[in-house]
Amino acid sequence: MRFVFLAMLLTAFCNQAMAGWVQVGSNTNFNTYTDPSTLHKSGIKAMEGSKAKMLSLVDYITPVTKAGKTVASLKAMHEFDCRQEQVRMLYSSWYSGHMGTGAEVEGNFQPESWRPIATHSMEEVLWKVACSKN
């Protein structure tokens, strides 16, 4: 089972050369993108509530330091609880180059705990994209 999960993660990251990144937000520090083809929804009509998963990319205008190394972008898979307005990061990878290119500097493949979506945040923007009725 672990092998299957790892294979899925590697496939998701390797396919980014073909990703159709669409900019969904920006501020003075970074631009945020998502690839609509990675959006997967489940339980939309189920009693337990609806969930959505989507890959995002943060491209820093000026590279930042992570674990003592310079990084220019971050790819992350988020899971959203559309009804409860919560989010958690399932996995993430930091890259030395812009738009998820260059060497992988650091990766985190441990899902985070659920947390409320902060108002006026980039996660709120991503939540609106992932949980829209379209």
- Residue 87 near residue 115, CB atoms below 8 Å: yes
Q: Which two tokens stand for residue 108?
A: 């985190």
Query: What's the confidence (pLDDT) of residue 44?
Result: 56
- Where residue 87 sits, what CATH number does that domain have? 2.40.128.710
Tell me the residue range of the domain where 91 lies. 2-130
Query: What's the confidence (pLDDT) of residue 10?
Result: 43
Query: What's the confidence (pLDDT) of residue 134?
Result: 56
- In the predicted model, residues of the chain with pLDDT beneath 70 are 1-19, 44-49, 134
Query: What's the confidence (pLDDT) of residue 4?
Result: 36
Query: What's the confidence (pLDDT) of residue 67?
Result: 82
- Residue 95 near residue 64, CB atoms below 8 Å: no
Residues 6+ apart with CB under 8 A from 132: none
Query: What's the confidence (pLDDT) of residue 43?
Result: 73
- How many domains does the chain divide into? 1
E strands along 9-118, which residues? 22-26, 30-34, 40-42, 51-66, 69-81, 86-95, 104-108, 115-116
pLDDT tens digits along 60-97: 999 999 889 999 999 999 999 999 999 999 999 999 99
Q: Which two tokens stand for residue 42?
A: 């489940």
